[in-house]
Amino acid sequence: MIELDAEDSKLHVLARGALGRTGGTAGAAVRDTEGRTYAAGEVTLSVLRLSALQAAVAAAISSGAEGFEAAVMIGARFSDPGVSAVREVSPSARIIFADQAGIVFDVLDDTAAEGAHDDTAAEGAHDDTAAEGPFADTATAGSEANGG
């Protein structure tokens, strides 16, 4: 079992909260370089679709975040486009992956480790609902910014 430090555990709780609040298939949270946290669920509007991690990154960037220390994704895949968004802003940010039950199954600590993963490993750690992808038709959206 992968253990998280106190700060990453807080992100994990925020991501699980976003997942539970929205009723979607994924939740995410990010911590910026100032220690502020942002959490979000998927956005599944007919004119706008964002994964939970993309939505959390968008909330952070639109609030003035200049970099990320870490991100947690609950119920998402390694290929989630939010991973690229985090990496674009902060290539060395830690990205933590957990299944829909909240069990952490992998941690990417830098960009070198990212290439070692593929979606087949992530799919095996999720239930059938998560394997449908981040934009399940039954998902609703939500996000929150938390001052830290």
Rounded CA-CA distance 123/58 in Å is 25
Whether the per-residue pLDDT at 132 is higher than 70: the answer is no
For the entire predicted model, the pTM comes to 0.75
Of the candidates 145, 132, 147, 148, which has an alpha carbon nearest to the alpha carbon of residue 28?
Answer: 145
Task: Return the CATH number of the domain spanning residue range 6-130.
Answer: 3.40.140.10
Average pLDDT over residues 69-88: 96
User: Domain residue spans in the chain?
Assistant: 6-130
Structure tokens at 41: 């669920």
Residue 1: pLDDT band by 50, 70, 90 thresholds?
A: confident
CA-to-CA dists, residue 63 to 38, 60, 144, 145, angstroms: 10, 5, 11, 9
Whether the per-residue pLDDT at 81 is higher than 70: the answer is yes
